[in-house]
Amino acid sequence: MAATISRLTLIVLDSVGIGELPDAAQYGDAGSNTLANTARAVGGLNIPHLGRLGLGNILPIEGVPPVDRPLAAYGRMAEASAGKDTTTGHWEIAGLLLERPFPVYPHGFPPEIIKPFEERIGRPVLGNKAASGTAIIEELGPEHMRTGYPIVYTSADSVFQIAAHEEIIPVEELYRMCRIARELLTGDHAVGRVIARPFVGRPGSFKRTDRRRDFSLPPPAPTILDLLLENGFPVLAVGKIEDIFAGKGITEAVHTEGNMDGVDQTLACMRRLERGLIFTNLVDFDMLYGHRNNPRGYADALEAFDRRLPEILHATRPDEVLIITADHGCDPTTSSTDHSREYVPLLVYGQKVKPGVNLGTRSTFSDVAATVAELFGLSYPRGTSFAREVIVR
């Protein structure tokens, strides 16, 4: 099987879902539609470049009408794995399906986890409950600063989060605590991610910093990233991709400070990488706006990305394919502050791509992995490739 391209850029717009999945109600997400509901809440989105690619052809979105001649192939993908979190979504995009969701702890972590953790770090913890990250810092930050005890909390996702003021617990010590938690959280308690949440400031004005770090479970089986590396194709990870995959299948990682830096770093990779995969996560949609139920901020972030999109399209080489998708939803208009179980958009662009092809509804995010494999002349065992539907031969 001959390779069709020499480079592929895959951009995940973190949490930019496009409508509830059939089983959304089982996850408490009936009615969720991150894109359409956000657009409705702000009186329409101004994202003409995504519109020209065909985003509005996937689903009615206020301010994003369907176009007669989309520049990209377009469709949507359903999540086949159980769950709705970042790790599950990205792993499925890379070809790994989970039959059961990662464990969650809506009532906090049990003593068999917290007690050995406290013993290993040499101090008690505060919190140990499900909470909004910004809210629990405001609630427990003053006590944390007085006692030096770290704040442990979780959410509806499979996460063990540790928040600490950088002046009270230095960031490297916070990272050490996270590694201890990661060692302890195995077996039935193998959460998807342990997350360091450093913050600064004073009571009433605490602010989380960009020194967050995720300590993920390593994927339990090879992904498309591993397959590419084994066959001599470099994999450049931009944003939190390295953390999500625990460094597996990655040649080089570039961490970023927000969406615009993520776009800048992606463009820098596109300027220098001759062949292989550029895999980018843009997290601000989810972290700053979805979880905080801020539709205006979410819309502004979408519009800011859209203004940068022409630079990405211009940087796409003749022998390259660009794929834009998402990993789950996080509807900022619902009462929930958690991720939502949604379809994700699929836009496929490039000089070798037939514009305007309707890819329909894909049954799994892993169709991306199968397609990436075929485009590079390889074969991947999971997912159904859409390469032959979109590539001009």
Q: How far apart are CA 174 and CA 189, in angstroms?
A: 21
Any binding-site annotation on 328? yes
Any binding-site annotation on 144? no
Any binding-site annotation on 339? yes
Q: How far apart are CA 198 and CA 254, in angstroms?
A: 20
Cα angle 375, 221, 77 (rounded to 5 degrees) comes to 50
Is the separation of the CB atoms in 53 and 70 below 8 Å? yes
Any binding-site annotation on 165? no
* Per-residue CA distances from 6 to 3, 228, 369, 373 (Å): 7, 12, 16, 12
Annotated binding site: 14, 286, 291, 327-328, 339
Output the known binding site for Mn(2+): 14, 286, 291, 327-328, 339
